[in-house]
Structure 1
Amino acid sequence: MTLAPPAQTGTLDQLGETTTLAVSYLRVSTKEQAKRGGRNEGFSIPAQRDANLRKARDLNAIVIEEFVDAGESARKADRPELMRMIEYVKTHPVAYCIVHKVDRLARNRADDVAIHLALKEAGVVLVSATENIDETPSGMLLYGIMSTIAEFYSRNLANEVTKGMTQKAATGGTVGRAPLGYLNVHKRDELGRDVPTVEPDPDRAALVRWAFEAYATGNYSTTALREELIDRGLTTVPTPKRPAKAPGLSTIQAMLSSPYYKGDVIFRGARYEGLHEPLVSAEVWYRVQNVLTAHQVSGEKTQVHEHYLKGTLYCGDCGSRFMVTHAKNRTGVIYPYFICAGRHSKRTSCTRQAMGVADIEQKVEDYYRQVQIPEHIVTALRHMLTRQFDDLHAAAKKERGTLAAERDKLRDERRNLLHAHHAGAVPLDLLKEEQDRISRRLTFLDSRIDASQIEYDQAKAHLEDCLALAGNAHAIYMSLDDSLRRICNQAFFDRINIYEVEDTDIVDAQHGEPFDALFDPALQAEALAYDQRLQAGLDAQTGHVAGLSIQHWVGPAGLEPTTPAV
């Protein structure tokens, strides 16, 4: 920006022969300062300009160029306008570089020395508009003192800001901008003081809450969840410089992982109880973390399968998966076959021959008929397992009281630990270590308590679903199309093994939970014996069924998420 009126005759060099020339450097640290008051330059830049122009008049100099760094910190030297000014004075006959204060130029001694040396090599004298600095020994002494003070102020300010942020987090305050679903707002207390706080965003909080609940079911990938949220109208919060837009995938992933939404504030690795209103319960948040972990292990990509049995079918001889291949006969007819992936890739010494897809499909259908539980056994299982559910439910209520007492004790311990840290008795590294220990135990206790609080009627309803599926497995399987048969296989079996016995293919599956218990002949025999004792009027006691618990039948998302589709 050229402030001097244009010369009527001659060049700028000729002007410098008779007139002292100067440049003016202005700076504010933040963009907010540069736009304060709704003005293009805020308040500080015009004030610095006026002071620099007054200083130029005192020096009988003309400011021919102005350099303004708006929103640039003096802790770094690679500011665009500062660099342009140094290049400018190297090629123009400038006598003075006028700054409002020396801290406008630099706030650490290393950069200050480098900038001052560059100006001196160009024959330019640094002048402060508000400080008595010149090239005399006393002026240079004052300049060194002021530069050192500026560096001290900058470093001390950073320490004070960090200290203030730590104290704010320790008391439950939100450090920085509120995450998606919340808004930074200002309120007045009873004394009329301005109090910054955080409140749920009336336009976005409900969508964020729904996102956690939906993802906790396990039926969404993060990509699918993002698309659904966009369809429902979720956008980021607009700012003066950035309009509202659809959230990115990384934003959704960070949101689902953030403990802020269950009421915690994390700062510098330490966890504090926040003052803001949680958008989700701790139970839902931990279920979301479990789903995220499961998706990281199994991957979220949608896979394309050539056949509904692919991925479930395994070679019983070597343990490798079966893959689909196609063979064409002399007339051009194509026949699909299952072949052992271990033999195909030569990773194993398996000698298993290819099997016709239609033959294996029939054998799997026959296996469903074989494992389907007869109606009278289903009735016996219902009686015995319902009784055992009653016993487990009574024991769970008693255990829940013990766990809740331990949880309350740990929460008190965590509060006392924070108080000791604030008092200086506990260092930060020990605070983090102890908080991690307490958090791990609280997570375990919360999961146990939440699991034991599952409604008894809901647990019995899921048991009925399991028995209904196990009692009608073959009929259900035969009524499904190929895509649903895949889901049915995944619900009933962990894997379906195909063995070759005397040139005959035999199916023997590893059942998934909870059907591994229901299909167990020993459990079925015990159920029949229990039912007979009941019919005889005897006081029948149930034996302990390995792995049987309410959590066994009803997980965080209910029965297998895929089962309702079956």
Structure 2
Amino acid sequence: MTTLTLDRAAVDSLLTPSVPTGGAVAVSYLRVSTKEQAEKGGTDEGYSIPAQREANRRKAEQLGATVIEEFVDAGESARKADRPELMRMIQYVTEHQVNYCIVHKVDRLARNRADDVTIHLALRDAGVMLVSASENIDETPSGMLLHGIMSSIAEFYSRNLATETIKGLSQKAAQGGTINRAPMGYLNVGVRDERGREVRTVQVDPERAELVTWAFQVFASGQWTTTQLHRELVRRGLNTPPSPNRPSKPIGLSSVHRILTNPYYKGDIRYKGATYKGTHEAIVPREVWYQVQSVLDSHKSAADATQIHDHYLKGTVYCGQCGSRLIICNSRNRHGKVYPYFVCSGRHGGAGDCTRQAVLIEDVERLIESYYDRIQISGQTRQNVAGMMHAQFDQLMAADTQELAGLAAGRDRLDNERVKLLQAHYADAVPLDLLKQEQARIGAELDTINNRIAAHHDEYAAARANLEDSIGLLANVAGIYRRCDDANRRLCNQAFFTAIYLDDDGEPRVTYQQPYDALCDPEVQANALNWAAETQKSDEVQTRAGAVPPVEGLNLATSG
């Protein structure tokens, strides 16, 4: 018998994926947000992941590239950037020669602008171009502008979804339901209703509720501090409930204060600043709870009464040398006159070696007021930028036509299925319990499809409206800022800038909020001017050739 032997290099070559020589290579990133999506259809990957994989493969073929590695985050939200496969992909492209990172859509990568910029910079630093299988983004100025718009739309969708979730939670709180996990002294449990369905509810914890009630009673006497109470509760064995990921352990000192200030124990639900009567059982009498709050108020230290200096620029201006916040300090001369200054918090606190000198607040106010003259743009520039961006929106909506058609077809199929179901029930072929079950399923699927169809239109409409408002505001922003009172000046600065840095030469240096990071970019404005000139030239050529002229007002630009 012949024995086959392989040396170490041969084994490694068999175990290492082959990388094409002489051709472009790419990595593919796939993601779904929930475990339910990842397992839909009873498969390991559900439906979305294979669809994304196929779209990315086709895009790679168009680029003449070979996908050498695939990274899949199944059931990971794009609101966080520390997804395991995303982190592994960033590490991979820094260690291997890769030309493209292909995603199905920009929102698969990130759903907030800050994470999108961070991830994009990491890829670019590794020499990798980000490519979307569904959107026309690239490294050109217009492509990067479109990338910014799409990531902003993704952030809008994510925040809108969060708003709808908050509406549901607010309704639950108004009905007395428990919003989050039940606090110490209670247990989240599942019970069966009269129809056999599982219902999540809250019950008193027989092991811990007595200790919580005792803690309120003794603290209400005013003879205990929170530190003493914590020590005694630990001695008596008050531990946190165990979970699949964390074992039981003694409660911390901060937990004692949270317990004593939580109105849940007197039977109330607190959510988003409002208080509602809860349906759970109270384990602390209301009068005892209010007495505990009085004792806590009397224990507050004198530090809480320290004077707070406030100003509309506070929290917006930063040291241009070390990046620390500028804080307000008052200096008094020998005649008793007080002069307010902005000083670097890094230098003031003794951290680092910053040498930034203090600057009078009124001087900073004048500098920023003058800076608004720079960001004000002319009517022609606004028209060019608006026209280019709306043209990009038109392309995006046209690209979504196929997906909308698929959703509409799915809606028609479900409507037909519902009609046939009713006909079968009237013919005694489907019993009542099965009819209700199927109607609930069809109704849920129709709601999902209708919401997605509405979202397609609403997100573009909202983004367009926001774009129009943002561009229109740039028409006379300097005059508006000068006429504002302090409260509205704070709102203006927060709307336009994420930070204003003051350099040693006295010149402000700003970082913009989106979408002003694009609208105020001189390169984007120049690119819009070129786009407008090319569009006008193309229209003139078509007119001379006898072609149908373009629809008037396609640019949807704001007036000067």
- Do both proteins adopt the same fold according to a TM-score greater than 0.5, normalized to the shorter chain? no
State TM-score, norm by structure 2: 0.42
